[in-house]
Amino acid sequence: MQNKQLEELITDIYRELYKNANPPRDFDQMVEYHKGTDIPYWMEICISTEKSDSIMDSFLKGRRLTPLAKQKIKNTVYLGVSPRYCD
């Protein structure tokens, strides 16, 4: 996968995570609103670990990626701006 494709995949995962979070949010609107600030906006929103894992697995299923590449994507999402876990 090319870097641009990986970025798009990770952004799509974030969009789905935030759509299914509590409270639900539009990821693109949040990024635009908080652009240039140091406010950790993702810390106000939570999602269950089970739901988060399910969403990531659904995005990665069927892609021609090695298990290591899939885990790297998951780690990037976990360590990035994903909603915090509330369970």
Mean pLDDT by 10 residues, the chain (87 residues): 90 96 93 80 86 96 94 94 87
Q: Determine the pLDDT at residue 63.
A: 92
Q: Determine the pLDDT at residue 58.
A: 97
DSSP, collapsed to helix, strand or coil, labels residue 86 as coil
Taken in order 30, 31, 35, 41, the sign of the CA dihedral is: positive
pTM of the predicted model as reported, rounded to 2 decimal places: 0.89
Q: Determine the pLDDT at residue 37.
A: 79
CA quadruple 14, 53, 85, 32: dihedral, nearest 10: 0
Task: Count the domains in the chain.
Answer: 1
Q: Which domain holds residue 38?
A: 3-85
Residue indicated by tokens 């140091």: 38
Q: Determine the pLDDT at residue 22.
A: 93
